[in-house]
Amino acid sequence: MQPTDRIREDVREFTPYAPGLSMEEIKERYGLARVVKLASNENPLGASPLVKRVLARKADMVFRYPRAGNPALVAALAEAHGVPRGCVVAGNGSDEIIDLLVRVTCRPGVDNVVAFAPCFSIYVQQTKLCGVELRQPPLGPDFAFDLPALAGACDAKTALVFLTNPDNPSGYAVPADQVVALAKSLPPRALLVVDEAYVEFADPEADHSMLPRWGQCDNVVVLRTFSKLYGLAGLRLGLGVMPEWLADYLLRVRLPFSVNLLAEAAGIAALEDTPFRQASLETVLRGRRLLAEKLTGLGCRVYPSKANFLMFAPPSPQCGAADVFKALLGRGIIIRALKSYGLPELLRVSIGNDEENDLFLAAMKDLVENGC
Ligand code: PMP
């Protein structure tokens, strides 16, 4: 017997989640003193000053368990989003909410889940782990949502439909009215999970988010994260807004302290720090306009984006996506190659702060003009 014979057969073929490369790895590999990371769509201004002060004060309390269910955080989230407290579930990143939704609603070997191809890898991974069929209609031309195709892939056994709006990795987004229409067109069992990880950048958010329309549909779950605009990726905090009957079941099965004491305190402080969020948003919107204009000027094909990143194709054949990615790494600039999304000819760059954007653009100009 091999030791790994103890592992479930379907689990043996799993590969781990492929995150962006770490800054330490790149520094070491290329002997660089400074590295610019524009790979994981993190906040370009770092962490909120208010959050840092609250975390320092809270450090004394880390020997205590957090309160199960994080009532203070849930109350603050419900208030901030104008939804009832009973509809909010906080999680260890929105990843945890995705995992819980699949495990709570999908019957292994019976139900199916529907999401566009390509989609965020955690939908694929957790569905597979649960032994549930994943149906993936393709995106339309230029990564547009083919919403009739998404609805058309559903049947009476569809438990969940995932829609990422704005989408990752393209940045494509639709107004929320179209999402409401999609929800109303689904079969009775199906729940529509609208992943709004990037919606704060959709400018205007109110036209694209389902939260201001809460109550219009009884089969919708909205996912939000603190990893992007709120600058808390390292603390792991996300949330789901969902019908109360569903929230009740997620809370029954989840591990009791998955949102830790520091994440809870940081989340409440981050909600209060409106000036930091405003500055972050302005930095991203300004940077997005600049990067789109300059990359287009260099001959790249830039896809319109409503998120805090841009997807683009470099002007091959002088310099293909893989060459550009590698050449940038050698200069200490980490962006995201989209091979793992099945898009080897495309790259994704997170919008950085002004200095990071300038460094990236200068390196791109040099590569395009002088070769990789
Ligand atoms: N959904 C999408 C579409 C994402 O891109 C991400 C972040 N990579 C997440 C969810 C997960 O966010 P979190 O850090 O809250 O787990």
Do both 257 and 302 map to the same domain? no
Q: Which amino acid is at 364?
A: M
Determine the atom of ligand 1 nearest the C-alpha atom of 225: 15
The reported pLDDT for the residue numbered 58 is 97
- Report the residue among 17, 95, 163 best suited for mutation to probe ligand 1: largest number of ligand atoms under 8 A from its CB: 95
The sign of the torsion formed by the CA atoms of 225, 226, 230, 231 equals negative
Picking from 260, 369, 372, 359, the residue whose alpha carbon sits closest to that of residue 327 is 372
The CA 298 to ligand 1 mean position distance, Å, reads 30
CATH number of the CATH domain containing 71: 3.40.640.10
Helix segments in 137-232, DSSP class H = 147-152, 176-185, 205-208
pLDDT at 20: 66
Q: Does ligand 1 come within 6 angstroms of the Cβ of 125? A: no
The predicted pLDDT at position 19 comes to 72
Contact 225, 92 (CB under 8 A): no
**Which residue(s) pair with 163 in the sheet?**
194
Atom of ligand 1 nearest to the CA of 95: 16
pLDDT at 339: 93
DSSP 224: E
CB 162 within 8 A of CB 123: yes
Same domain, 156 and 64: yes
What distance in angstroms lies between residue 13's CA and the mean position of ligand 1's atoms? 23
Locate 201 and state its tokens.
Answer: 């950048």
Are residue 71 and residue 211 in the same domain, yes or no? yes
Give 227-250 pLDDT, tens digit per residue: 999 999 999 999 999 999 999 999
pLDDT classification of 303: cutoffs 50, 70, 90: very high
CA distances from 350 to 154, 220, 261, 288 (A): 33, 29, 29, 9
Using a pLDDT cut of 90, give the percent of the chain over it: 90
What are the E-state strand segments in the chain?
36-37, 88-91, 112-115, 133-135, 158-164, 191-195, 220-225, 238-241, 301-302, 309-313, 333-334, 336-337, 347-350
In the chain, pLDDT over 70 holds for what percent of residues?
99
Which pLDDT score is estimated for 22?
Answer: 81
E-only strand ranges, 251-354 = 301-302, 309-313, 333-334, 336-337, 347-350
Q: Note whether 296 and 253 are same-domain residues.
A: no
Residue range(s) defining the domain that contains residue 25: 3-46+277-370
Q: Are residues 36 and 176 in the same domain?
A: no
What span, in angstroms and rounded, lies between the C-alpha atoms of 61 and 328?
43
Do 217 and 179 lie in one domain? The reply is yes
| Mean pLDDT, residues 342-361 taken together | 97
- 223 and 75 together in one domain: yes
Q: What distance in Å separates the CA atoms of residue 114 and residue 169, rounded to the nearest whole number?
A: 18
Closest residue by Cα to atom 1, ligand 1, is 197
Report which DSSP code applies to 228: S
Last residue of a domain, one of 252, 274, 296: 274
Tell whether the model's pLDDT for residue 222 goes beyond 80.
yes
Tens digits of per-residue pLDDT, 88-132? 999 999 999 999 999 999 999 999 999 999 999 999 999 999 999
| Same domain? 294 vs 206 | no
Q: Cα of 165 to ligand 1 centre, how many Å?
A: 12
Q: Which of 253, 274, 295 is the last residue of a domain?
A: 274
- Do 236 and 312 have their domain in common? no
Residues 198 and 315 reside in one and the same domain: no
The total number of structural domains that make up the chain: 2
Cα–Cα nearest to 302, from 361, 370, 229, 371: 361
70 and 186 co-located in one domain: yes
Is residue 120 in contact with ligand 1, taking CB distance under 6 Å?
yes
Q: 21 pLDDT exceeds 80?
A: no
Report helix angle 321-330 to 354-370, nearest 10. Answer: 120
Confirm or reject: Cβ of 116 under 6 Å from ligand 1.
no
Interface predicted TM-score (ipTM): 0.99
Mean pLDDT calculated for residue range 218-222: 98
Closest by CA position to 280, among listed 231, 239, 334, 224: 231
Give 34-51 pLDDT, tens digit per residue: 899 999 999 999 999 999
CATH number at residue 323: 3.90.1150.10
Name the residue at shortest CA distance from atom 13 of ligand 1.
Answer: 93
- The letter for the amino acid at 136 is Q
For residue 359, what are its two tokens? Answer: 């460094």
Distance 224 CA to ligand 1 centre (A): 8
Least confident stretch, 11-20, 74-83, 206-215, 351-360: 11-20
- Both 203 and 306 in one domain: the answer is no
Instruction: Give the integer Cα–Cα distance in Å for 44 and 282.
Output: 11
State whether the beta carbon of 197 lies less than 6 angstroms from ligand 1. Answer: yes
Please give the biggest Cα pair distance in the chain.
60
Cis peptide before 44 (omega within 30 of 0): no
* Exposed/middle/buried for residue 307 (C-beta within 10 Å: 0-12, 13-18, 19+): buried
Domain boundary among 239, 274, 309: 274
With cut-offs at 50, 70 and 90, classify the pLDDT of residue 13. Answer: confident
